[in-house]
Amino acid sequence: MGNKKIPPGKQINFTDPDSSIMLTKHHGVQQCYNHLAWVDVKAHIILGAHTSNNASDQLGLQPTLEHAEKMCGSLKDIQAGADAGFFSANNIAFMRRKGTDFYASYAVAKSPYAKDKFAYDAQSDTYTCPEGQMLSRQKTKKSGKIGEYSNKEACQSCPLSPHCTKAKDGIRKIERDMENDPIREEAKAKADSEKGKEILKQRKSVPEPVWGNTFKCRMSGNRCMDVGWTMLHVNSNCTASCTISGKS
């Protein structure tokens, strides 16, 4: 780098510049990569894998599934489950386009007055707040892409308003993404169905044998890590295949 200053907030690792700082589950903050895999329920065989230097699982779903599609063919009519880290409107829409029957768990806000505690009714285009008051659409923003809902009179007379909003005027406003919120709501209802609950029960147990039998990759560079991860999942698949053969 010579005398060139490193820009504020810029991450630079001279040993492995492709890697990123990530918060890991068991080892705190580490300089590492994010490995993702799509695993078959019955055989525990990895159908698709991807290595990313981005900590977001959301951004890793599509390349992982595209790799599975390349290896296994069309994903149409296949059921797939994922944890809340993969839940996004973009991913749900992507799986729809692929014709995949996709189920994803989702994060639930702890606050009793979070947006997800306001029930939306498509027929009347209104939200009902946790206290039973109706919020109607007052205006739209960003060329009609965002709708803003509120009920000035109800909020001004509500004793719980300070717990619901930090707005100076005491009026709670709900913003609705007119394109993506319906996608998210439909996906949440799907996850909450009996079928969805049954499928999502498996999301913790199915991948665990794969991760448990996988050794750490100690390589540098995104490309090398991707190759290393691929070799590890090939080894895992060979082990799973031998196990299946032994049972048959």
What are the structural domain ranges in the chain? 20-108+183-247, 115-178
Q: Is 128 exposed, middle or buried (0-12, 13-18, 19+ CB in 10 A)?
A: middle
Q: Tell me, what's the pLDDT at 21?
A: 76
In the chain, pLDDT over 70 holds for what percent of residues?
77
In the chain, pLDDT over 90 holds for what percent of residues?
55
Q: Which residues pair with 30 in a beta bridge?
A: 22
pLDDT tens-place string over residues 60-100: 999 999 988 988 899 899 999 999 999 999 999 999 999 99
| Distance from C-alpha of 76 to C-alpha of 39, rounded to nearest angstrom | 16
Q: Tell me, what's the pLDDT at 96?
A: 96
Please give, one letter per residue, the 3-state secondary structure of 78-126: CEEEECHHHCCHHHHHHHHHHCCEEEECCCCCCCCCCHHHCEEECCCCE
Give the mean pLDDT of 221-247: 57
pTM of the model: 0.79
Q: How does the average pLDDT of the chain come out, rounded? A: 84
For 34-67, b where at least 16 C-beta lie within 10 A, e where not — what string? bbbbbbbeeebbbbbbbbbbebebbbbbbebbeb
